[in-house]
Amino acid sequence: MQYALLFYETEAQFTTRDHGPETQAYWGAWKTYVDEISAAGIVRGGEGLLGPQTATSLRIRGGSSQIQDGPFADTKEQLAGFFVIEVADIDAALGWATKAPCAPYGGVEVRPTLPRM
């Protein structure tokens, strides 16, 4: 079964990506995780995302496009990236989610994917 691992980070973690004494440790933790999950042969796709300040959101209401700078919701945690993995069950997917570097301070949402059409 395929699952999406949606990685959420706090504003502080987005800042740490580029600035400060913890930048090297931040990227080192992600490299270790990416290397491990890749070596397991379960990754089917995924990407890291730039910070929420780079987002543009679109809604169509009453036939009219509404475009705004930023993400849909202004929340404490923002979407930072994702993997699509193929594992036996939700427990295996949750096992990989618990290893994500963002799990202790942001979070990981795990969702089954729709079957291919």
- pLDDT tens for the 117 residues of the chain, in order: 999 999 999 999 999 998 888 999 999 999 999 999 999 999 999 999 999 999 999 999 999 998 988 887 778 899 999 999 999 999 999 999 999 999 999 999 999 999 988
For 1-49+84-117, CATH number? Answer: 3.30.70.1060
* pTM check: above 0.95: no
Q: Are 30 and 106 in contact (CB under 8 A)?
A: no
d(CA 33, CA 98): 11
* Burial of residue 111, with CB atoms counted within 10 A of its CB: 0-12 exposed, 13-18 middle, 19 or more buried: middle
What pLDDT sits at residue 116?
A: 85
What pLDDT sits at residue 117?
A: 87
Residue spans per domain, the chain: 1-49+84-117
What pLDDT sits at residue 19?
A: 85
